[in-house]
Structure 1
Amino acid sequence: MLTLAWQTVKARTGGFAGAFVAILCGTALVAACGILMESGLRGGVPTQRYAAADVVVTGDRIVRPPGADVLAFEHAAEQPGILAALAARIAAVPGVKAAVPQRTFQAVVVGPDGQPLAGKPSFGHNWDSAVLAPFTLKEGNAPRGDEVVLDSALAAEAGVAVGGEVRVMTRSAPVTHRVAGIAEAPGRARQAAMFFSEAKAAELAGRADQVSAIGVLGANADRVEEALKGERVTVSEGADRSAAEFDDVSRTKSILAILAGSFGGYAVLVAIFVVASTLALSVEQRRREFALLRAVGATPRQIRRLIGVETTVVSVVAGVAGSLLGIGVSQGLRAAFARIGVVPDDFALSISPIPLVAALLIGVGAARLAAWSAARRPSSINPVEALGEAAVQKRDAGRIRLAIGWALVGLGLGATTLPLFLRGQLGAAMSVMAALVLIIGLALTGPRVIGAAVRVIAPVLARSSGVSGYLAAANVLKNSRRLAAAVTPLMLAIGFAVVNYYSQTTFTAAVGQETTRSITAGHVVTGVAGVPAEVADAARRLPGVTATSLVRTQVITASRTGETVEVQSRPANGLDRTAGGLVDLGVVSGSLDDLAGGTVALSDSHASSEDKKIGDTVEFWFADGSPAKLRVVATYDHDLAFGDYVLSAADARAHTTAGMDSAVLVRASDTTALRGLTDRYPGLQVTDRVAAQDRDAERTQFLLNLVAVGVILGYVAISVSNTLVMSTAARRREFALLRLVGTGRRQVVRMMRTEALLTVGLAAVLGSLVAAVPLAVLAVGLTGAPLPSGPITVYLGALAGAAVLGVVSIAISTRLSLRAKPIDAIGMRE
């Protein structure tokens, strides 16, 4: 059977080319997602501050509730501290030469112009930890008292030398320090560093009993883990040390793992869908061949086995090539993500055989599943009816297929209502999922839906477009399944592109509208690397000024459904109890005046889903993974602007690495009263209240979705062209017969142009409907109006792109098919 299958593949390379391309591109996409996921677990950048440390111990950022499975976890947004006393326990581990605690805190040098130096992220450390890089003194001596040691690049930027003075701002107004020395470390630094004495570093870090990390010299990670068993710590070695050092690397690894999982899920689903439709079309085009095999005695099992072996041969070759191509695709995605700021420029992907082999297995498995489905009909026809059955295409789909298709359409329509109950990003994601389910359902019911449409359109074509219109109408009436096969991928491209884009723009617009309504303060104070907490108190002491701290943060929640535990990261904000006149949260019950340490306000929708009311206790985890148990003092409506949790500013700030405010909201009768703040705290800016809307995260998420969707749409576009070319090229004998009976070449071209326009028109209508329903419901749920937000040019561009792709693909393949002489083409095998 293998020999026969291989001979068939070699003899019908053109027929198998479409399946090869679909599997190749699908496997490459899945392999790229696998590489991104593995990089989220094992990738990184070269470590610098811990280059001399064999092992680095940091606080555990993984939040996994008790009883949750291995996949039910969230990554804490902030780096938790660890007990300084753990250094002594680590030092006692056999083989450990030294366990060096490191304190890390934000520290910015104020330049000669009175403004903070902003060349690189800048941090302060204790001098003892300099050995972990190692930093060595180039000039001067170790810091004592209020002295500081600067790295050489920072000293040059600040224009100071040993013995000079430099102003450093940490979590308060700048303080002048004497420069005791200048240090250097090997390699190119991603961060600027300054070192203080042990006592001064502990004071500036603000947590005397905690340190940021412990670097271990001469140790085995397994031994250190054993010694710290039961502690909430992470023990890192090798490339993982960079995640302990650089917060952006830690975030990147988490984002890549999550993104690759969700993006990979879509990619696998779309790949299976495309491969299945391509293989089904390929098998359908060979129905005469299979009919003849049945007529000469081949059994159904032999037909199914032949198709399966042929598919395996093609899919293995395409899968191997696609897996290798996935390396290039992953590098392209990494470059795109770096360009939009999702990953650092120097973040290196981790490439191993695991994702490549997994992609190969998924590609081959998807192809075999598609082959099994496609082989059922040609293998089950009666030998006596074989040739007759092969001569005329079956006009309708099977009952099981239709039943599944209509069920999916119903399920998709039901899923479109979810954004009415699930607000926020989750509701937008549900709209995309609902559209995808609708597309699959319409693909399965395509022959029935397209057949009904063409029965209405065909008579109009026949009367209005002359001979070409009559021929096109006759073709689509008798071959609605072939038309449906051409419409489906175009519908997928239009619907998927439109719903993905406009779901994000609608969500972003809704957040912006609600934030504008919710922030009633006249001005906002922001800083280069945050705002010191004392700024809000200083502002409140000014005459005619009301102010509140605003701390943007996250919380992690867990909900249990039966035996399943769902863990979710949610946006949250910290406010002072004086925020009542500066923000409008749409309070439903309780009062923000009661918001103090140990209390929390919940969005009304979240409080209802959790069955919480005023006075109840709610449990979750702070942004650094610390457990929280707070009392509910208020509920509110404006959850798009402020998330599901509003904490006291002190609680939110205490669980951030920087320990500072994100902004200070201010209402002042005279803005000149705030000028003293900007003079006292360099880098502060006073702007109007619109600046309080932090859109960086939303913009990054939007661009990230565009890149991910763009890659999938690229694959869909290839499959669209592939399907249309295959479908048209298979009609060479039909074109030859038309020409032999007197139809002119131009009439055949016009006939195919009419069919192409009909294909594109039906795809545009169905794709628009598939996107319009979930988008309208999403818009109603978010903004109260049924019209999605965003420029209409994107929708028109999606339609135009699909139209050009469809018309050009059909036109080119038609002209190529007409190049042969009719008398030669009519004798060609199918």
Structure 2
Amino acid sequence: MLSIAWQLLKARKAAFIGAFLAVLCGTAVVAGCGILMESGIRSGVPTERYAAATVVVGGGQVVRPEGAAAPLSSQNVGTLPTVPDTLVGKVSAVPGVAKAVGESTFPARVVTGGVFDALGHNWDSAVLTPFTLRDGREPASGDEVVLDAELAERAGVAVGGRVEVMTTSTPTGYDVVGIAAPAQGVTKQSGLYFTAAQADLLSGRPGRFHAIGVFAEQGVTDLAERVEQALAGEDVTVAEGKDRGTVEFAAVGESRTMLMAISGSFGGIAMMVAVFVVAGTLALSVEQRRRELALLRAIAATPRQIGKLIGAETTMVAALAAALGSVAGIFVGHGLRDAFAAIGVIPHEFALSVGPLPLLVAFLLGLGVARLAAWVASRRPSRIPPTEALGEAAVERPDPGRWRGVAGAVFLLLAAVMATMPLFLDGEVAIVMASTSVLVAVIGMSFLGARAVAPIVRLAAVPLRKFGATGFLAAANSQANLKRVAAALTPLMLSISFALVSFFSQTVTTAAGERETELATAADYVVSAPGGVSPEVAEAARGVDGVEAAASVVRTRVMAEVQDGESTRIERVPALGLDDSRGALDLGVLSGNLADLRGDTIALSKSEANWLDARIGDEVELFLDDGRPVKLRLVATFDRDLAFGKHVLPAELARAHSAARLDSSALVRLTPDADRAAVAGALAELAGRYPGTTVTDRSAMAPAENSDRRVQFWVNLVAVGVILGYIAISVANTLVLTTVQRRREFALLRLVGGTRRQVLRMMRAEALTLVGIAIAVGTLIPAIPLVLLSSGLMGTPLPTGPIGVYLAIIGFAALLGLLALGLPTRLALRARPIDAIGMRE
């Protein structure tokens, strides 16, 4: 069997080119996503501040449901929790520890002719990098500071100078008593070093450290294991080697989780697309060989032998393609890493971990998909009776079979149900449902195949017949070869539908959030700063004449357990810290009172309260941004959750569990009779006390998920670009193969009197018909869920988004279809008709 398969494969290399490319490209995308997922588990960003420490002990970084082991069921904290200073002595007592040093870390800004962001530390922790004095001495009193050399140069100060440092209040003056430089480059941060007592005070967390750096004694190689054993039962993270960067940079752990989620979702979509692309390509290849397979059946080949023959041919092609695709996946992974770093999903320094497991899995998946597709494609030609073999080969049977018809109907019904979900759900769930419904609908269309295409082609053939002989032939060809049309139409529809729903679902959601933010913001002015605003600003603004209300606003996140059937996962969502709004922010309160929002309380959106079955006075359990579990009493429910999230906490509680301990902004609302010019001047004077702070109008307020949606938007564009590139290859393969198959048909038309120009016009008419159907159906499929999504979120059926993007998507699909049909037609017509008519199929 292998020998026969090899001989047939050599004789029909062109027939397997499409399948080869489809498997290769699909495997490469899946391997690239697998590399990203492995990197999310194993890789990270090299440490800077802890370069000299052997082991670093930080607070627990992962919130995980009880008993859950899957990485994607947990979430990393956004703010790294601190550890008690009593752990320093406990760690120091571990055998093999030479020294343990606690480090205080807090955001600080140097004000000297400009505002320079930095991190403040205790001088004792300078040894962890290590920083050594280049000039001057270490700080000895609370009003002295040491600057790192790079910061001192930018700020233009030297030993003996004086700088103003701002943390959570107005700037305070410090004498510069030393300039320190690291042993190796520190490029992602600048440092200020205070006495231990002053750093403890400025950090706002007395008696606690951001981390503890541990030095090993000579010859000790298992220090991390020893420290872990000594701290068993403590909620801490013990990191060594490259993992030390996760304690230093809070964004690393979050990026790893996000990278795993994105690559898993992206890889799943790529795998789903690959299944249908490979299946369609192989089905077309088998269809082109129906006379050959029918002849084998007629000379006594059994159905099992036909199936084994097609399977053996496919395995030979797919094994080589999957092997090459796995290697190509390394380059795809690096390309995706660079793209995700450029849009802010991961840090630019995030390194890839390229191991054999993702490549092996991608290879096996690629080979498995090809074998599955070969089995599906071989079922009909392997089972037809020998007496009907030659007759079956002569006429195309449009009926896809009962089971395919039932499956197609079920998928279309499921897609219709999913498309209506945005009317009942909101947020990310609505977007996921809308997007998934499009893929499910295309799957249903592919199952129905010729049965779904037939009425559309008949409708398109009516006007086509009016364009003379070439139009008549184009219409007749399309109706007589519905399988061929369906094979070319499915990937073309998929490319249009997938691109449209991926782009416009995000524009609709973003527009809905911006609209609701505008409605919810009742303030006249927004006081903000790049790194945050002192809580004193809102308090001081309340005392300005003409100010009716001034609210502290803290953008944060919370985490909650979500039950998915029998499994539990942690979901991390945006939340808002709010203090004394009194009309500066209108969240559309439905029950309770936001004035009661203080202490251990919370307000929830109506949808979230209904989901949790919570009523006013009930306790709500969740985790704050630093992973601390809390039980909060529900005091209010509100309606406008697209604006600022579904959870509203007291501002003081949100600040206490954030790294900066600052407000994100302060909202100021004026009294009706206020002198706007006078109030604006007073607010500008107030902002001037806090360098870097600005006063703008209400338009500066952005939805809570604005940055997340922007990142998600670019992630979707990257995903769409890669998937569309893959689908484009499939479309080109399919159309080129179907056109090349028709060389004898073109020759026959020319031998009976048709000219080369007439054949080209006929093919051009067929191409326009195919592209027109693909655009119409490919637009209609995502239009339904997008209209429902827009109706559910914005109250209008017209999706928001630039029409130019839609035109670019359908223009790309049209150009691809016309070129993929036109170029091989021209090449096929170069041969003399008398030579081409004698060519074998």
TM-based fold match above 0.5: yes
CA contact (8 A) 1:67 1:565 kept: no
The one-letter amino acid paired with 2:687 is: T
Partner of 1:387: 390
State the Cα deviation string for residues 353-402 of structure 1 (Å, max 9, x = none).
22111111111111111111111111111111111111111121111011
CA distance in 1 between counterparts of 2:230 and 2:538 reads 43
Instruction: Tell whether 2:722 aligns with 1:711.
Output: yes
The one-letter amino acid paired with 1:481 is: K
Q: Name the SS for the 1:542 alignment partner.
A: coil
Report matched runs for 1:437-586 at 5 Å: 437-462=440-465, 464-545=466-547, 546-560=549-563, 562-576=565-579, 578-586=580-588
State the Cα deviation string for residues 622-655 of structure 1 (Å, max 9, x = none).
1111111001110000000021100110111111
CA distance in 2 between counterparts of 1:382 and 1:67 reads 56
CA contact (8 A) 1:574 1:649 kept: yes
- Structure 1 segments unaligned to the other structure (5+ residues): none
Worse-matched range after superposition: 583-592 or 219-228: 219-228
Instruction: Tell whether 2:115 aligns with 1:116.
Output: yes
Report the CA distance shift for 1:807/1:624 in structure 2 as closer, same or farther (over 3 A): same
Instruction: Kindly state the Cα deviation for residue 621 of structure 1 after the two structures are TM-superposed.
Output: 0.8
Worse-matched range after superposition: 760-769 or 687-696: 687-696
The one-letter amino acid paired with 1:821 is: R
Partner of 1:301: 304
Q: Name the SS for the 2:164 alignment partner.
A: strand
CA contact (8 A) 1:516 1:690 kept: yes
Partner of 1:63: 63
- From 416, 420, 428, give the equivalent of 1:417: 420
CA contact (8 A) 2:110 2:165 kept: yes
Report matched runs for 1:174-323 at 5 Å: 174-185=171-182, 186-218=184-216, 220-323=223-326
Partner of 1:16: 16
CA distance in 2 between counterparts of 1:250 and 1:424 reads 24
CA distance in 1 between counterparts of 2:751 and 2:162 reads 95
CA distance in 1 between counterparts of 2:171 and 2:252 reads 29
Worse-matched range after superposition: 165-174 or 741-750: 741-750
Worse-matched range after superposition: 738-747 or 754-763: 738-747
CA contact (8 A) 2:684 2:694 kept: no
CA distance in 2 between counterparts of 1:85 and 1:358 reads 46
Report matched runs for 1:588-603 at 5 Å: 588-603=590-605
Instruction: Tell whether 2:711 aligns with 1:700.
Output: yes
Q: Name the SS for the 2:568 alignment partner.
A: strand
Instruction: Kindly state the Cα deviation for residue 87 of structure 1 after the two structures are TM-superposed.
Output: 2.0
The one-letter amino acid paired with 1:664 is: A
Instruction: Kindly state the Cα deviation for residue 15 of structure 1 after the two structures are TM-superposed.
Output: 0.9
The one-letter amino acid paired with 1:116 is: V
CA distance in 1 between counterparts of 2:263 and 2:828 reads 41
Instruction: Kindly state the Cα deviation for residue 515 of structure 1 after the two structures are TM-superposed.
Output: 0.1
Partner of 2:786: 775
Instruction: Kindly state the Cα deviation for residue 188 of structure 1 after the two structures are TM-superposed.
Output: 4.3
CA contact (8 A) 2:140 2:195 kept: yes
CA distance in 2 between counterparts of 1:439 and 1:338 reads 32
Instruction: Kindly state the Cα deviation for residue 560 of structure 1 after the two structures are TM-superposed.
Output: 2.8
Q: Name the SS for the 1:796 alignment partner.
A: helix
Partner of 2:698: 689
Q: Which runs of 4+ in 1 moved over 3 A?
A: 694-697
Instruction: Kindly state the Cα deviation for residue 450 of structure 1 after the two structures are TM-superposed.
Output: 1.0
CA distance in 2 between counterparts of 1:98 and 1:2 reads 67
CA distance in 1 between counterparts of 2:723 and 2:459 reads 34
- From 584, 587, 590, give the equivalent of 2:589: 587
CA contact (8 A) 2:77 2:254 kept: no
CA distance in 1 between counterparts of 2:485 and 2:130 reads 68
CA contact (8 A) 1:69 1:565 kept: no
Instruction: Kindly state the Cα deviation for residue 498 of structure 1 after the two structures are TM-superposed.
Output: 0.7
CA distance in 1 between counterparts of 2:364 and 2:793 reads 41
State the Cα deviation string for residues 291-349 of structure 1 (Å, max 9, x = none).
11111221111111111111111111111111111121222222222322333222222
State the Cα deviation string for residues 202-224 of structure 1 (Å, max 9, x = none).
10111112211111111622222
Instruction: Kindly state the Cα deviation for residue 590 of structure 1 after the two structures are TM-superposed.
Output: 0.7
CA contact (8 A) 2:538 2:552 kept: yes
The one-letter amino acid paired with 2:525 is: H
Partner of 2:219: none
CA distance in 2 between counterparts of 1:467 and 1:197 reads 92
Given the two structures, how large is their TM-score scaled by the length of structure 2?
A: 0.96
Worse-matched range after superposition: 4-13 or 769-778: 4-13
CA contact (8 A) 1:308 1:372 kept: yes
CA distance in 2 between counterparts of 1:570 and 1:401 reads 41
The one-letter amino acid paired with 1:505 is: T
State the Cα deviation string for residues 179-198 of structure 1 (Å, max 9, x = none).
12111111242111111111
Q: Name the SS for the 1:580 alignment partner.
A: coil
Q: Name the SS for the 2:598 alignment partner.
A: coil
State the Cα deviation string for residues 432-455 of structure 1 (Å, max 9, x = none).
011111111111113112111222
Instruction: Tell whether 2:363 aligns with 1:364.
Output: no
CA distance in 2 between counterparts of 1:610 and 1:287 reads 58
CA contact (8 A) 1:419 1:778 kept: yes
Report matched runs for 1:603-622 at 5 Å: 603-622=605-624
CA contact (8 A) 2:506 2:709 kept: no
State the Cα deviation string for residues 1-36 of structure 1 (Å, max 9, x = none).
223323322222211110011111111111111111
Q: Name the SS for the 1:405 alignment partner.
A: helix
Partner of 1:793: 804
Instruction: Tell whether 2:739 aligns with 1:741.
Output: no
- From 756, 761, 767, give the equivalent of 2:772: 761
Partner of 1:399: 402
State the Cα deviation string for residues 258-307 of structure 1 (Å, max 9, x = none).
11111111111111121111111111111111111111221111111111
The one-letter amino acid paired with 1:801 is: F
Report the CA distance shift for 1:506/1:562 in structure 2 as closer, same or farther (over 3 A): closer
Instruction: Kindly state the Cα deviation for residue 406 of structure 1 after the two structures are TM-superposed.
Output: 0.8
Instruction: Tell whether 2:52 aligns with 1:52.
Output: yes
Q: Name the SS for the 2:533 alignment partner.
A: coil
CA contact (8 A) 2:283 2:377 kept: yes
The number of equivalent residue pairs is: 823
CA distance in 2 between counterparts of 1:628 and 1:138 reads 46
Q: Name the SS for the 1:527 alignment partner.
A: strand
Partner of 2:160: 163
CA distance in 2 between counterparts of 1:748 and 1:528 reads 65
CA contact (8 A) 2:527 2:687 kept: no
In percent, how many aligned pairs have the same letter? 55
CA distance in 2 between counterparts of 1:202 and 1:433 reads 51
State the Cα deviation string for residues 648-673 of structure 1 (Å, max 9, x = none).
10111111111111111112441111
Partner of 1:173: 170
State the Cα deviation string for residues 409-445 of structure 1 (Å, max 9, x = none).
0000000111122211221121101111111111111
Given the two structures, how large is their TM-score scaled by the length of structure 1?
A: 0.97
State the Cα deviation string for residues 555-592 of structure 1 (Å, max 9, x = none).
1111335522142112110101x213101101111111
State the Cα deviation string for residues 523-544 of structure 1 (Å, max 9, x = none).
1111131112222222223333
Instruction: Kindly state the Cα deviation for residue 43 of structure 1 after the two structures are TM-superposed.
Output: 2.2
CA distance in 2 between counterparts of 1:282 and 1:100 reads 68
- From 349, 353, 361, give the equivalent of 1:350: 353
Partner of 2:739: 728
The one-letter amino acid paired with 1:50 is: Y
- From 120, 126, 129, give the equivalent of 2:125: 129
CA contact (8 A) 2:555 2:577 kept: yes
CA contact (8 A) 2:78 2:251 kept: no
Q: Name the SS for the 1:266 alignment partner.
A: helix
